[in-house]
Amino acid sequence: MARTLVVGDIHGCAEEFEALLEKAGLAAADRVICVGDLFARGPRPERILDLFLSRSNFTFVLGNHDVPMLEAVREDGKASGAYDDLHPAQAKSLKLLETRREDLRDLLDGAPYLIRSGTSVGTRPWVVVHAGVHPKRGLEGTRTEEFLELRQVDELPDKPFWWDAYDGPDLVIFGHTPRPAVIQAFRRGRRVALGLDTGCVYGGHLTGYLPDEDRFVQVKAKRRYYAKE
């Protein structure tokens, strides 16, 4: 049976991504899902683009860095300022992909904000989003900007991180919030949230999770590619 590897924020760290794929021991039919933020900040966005374009079993959800890049290339990357409103890291990645704008648009256009599992962890379904799920409104009530940006829930007392207030039922696998270690939130003894952004682009690790085996794989960044803001 085909397996699935869910990968944290890649951010253009192609060497580490390929090392993670090898370490996970994936077969040709196995599926790879990234939690978003494929390109910006890291050194090799063009290699990431090639990998995702060439593998029909590689998919991803849109991240908060992916959407502005998509909006820029939808305008055909007009040279006289199409990238002026972008974060500098997004603009730099687009310049590295200057001759690949159509390929980038083809990859990003129509990509989802949410991927639901075809399998389960035990008997529970899992979902992949970039940033989070609103703990009170759930998957169906989470807004697009929350899928992309959510960390703390401002309308709740003490503004908790969303995973500290989330109660399931789905296991949410996400990225966006870099931490030295994987974020794991539990309710009544079951895991309800799993944050895979362990800061590879900042010199940390690139982390993957195999839901079918309930197993993590990690590779250490070759170096720090980007300084935290």
Q: What pLDDT, in 10s, does the model give residues 4-46? A: 999 999 999 999 999 999 999 998 889 999 999 999 999 999 9
Using an 8 Å Cβ cutoff, are 24 and 37 in contact? Answer: no
Q: Rg of the chain's alpha carbons, rounded to an integer?
A: 17
In this prediction, residue 43 carries a pLDDT of 96
Residue-number span of the structural domain to which 122 is assigned: 4-220
Instruction: Identify whether 195 is part of a domain.
Output: yes
Question: What is the tens place of the pLDDT at every residue in 140-193?
Answer: 999 999 999 999 999 999 999 999 999 988 999 999 999 999 999 999 999 999
CATH code, 84: 3.60.21.10
Instruction: Identify whether 133 is part of a domain.
Output: yes
Question: What is the tens place of the pLDDT at every residue in 47-76?
Answer: 999 999 999 999 999 999 999 999 999 876
φ/ψ of residue 151, rounded to 5: -130, -75
Instruction: Identify whether 225 is part of a domain.
Output: no
In this prediction, residue 76 carries a pLDDT of 62
Instruction: Identify whether 119 is part of a domain.
Output: yes
In this prediction, residue 125 carries a pLDDT of 85
In this prediction, residue 135 carries a pLDDT of 97
59-63, 118-122, 191-195, 199-203, range with the lowest pLDDT: 118-122
Instruction: Identify whether 70 is part of a domain.
Output: yes
Using an 8 Å Cβ cutoff, are 16 and 222 in contact? Answer: yes
In this prediction, residue 83 carries a pLDDT of 64
Instruction: Identify whether 229 is part of a domain.
Output: no
Could you give the CA distance from residue 103 to residue 3 in angstroms, rounded to a whole number?
27
φ/ψ of residue 161, rounded to 5: -60, 145
Q: Give CA separation, 91 vs 60, 73, 221, in Å.
A: 21, 11, 23
Q: What angle do CA 98, 228, 75 make, to 5 degrees?
A: 25
Instruction: Identify whether 110 is part of a domain.
Output: yes
In this prediction, residue 79 carries a pLDDT of 46
In this prediction, residue 121 carries a pLDDT of 52
Q: What angle do CA 50, 197, 185 make, to 5 degrees?
A: 140
- Report the number of distinct structural domains present in the chain: 1
φ/ψ of residue 109, rounded to 5: -65, 125
What HEC string does the chain produce?
Answer: CCCEEEECCCCCCHHHHHHHHHHHCCCCCCEEEECCCCCCCCCCHHHHHHHHHHCCCEEECCCCCHHHHHHHHHCCCCCCCCCCCCCHHHHHHHHHCHHHHHHHHHHHCCCCCCEEEEEEECCEEEEECCCCCCCCCHHHHCCHHHHHHCCECCCCCCCCEHHHHCCCCCEEEECCCCCCCCEEEEECCEEEEEECCCEHHHCCEEEEEECCCCEEEEEECCCCCCCCC
Instruction: Identify whether 228 is part of a domain.
Output: no
**N-to-C CA span, the chain:** 43
Span 125-145, mean pLDDT? Answer: 96
Q: Examine the pLDDT at 80 and tell me if it is beyond 80.
A: no
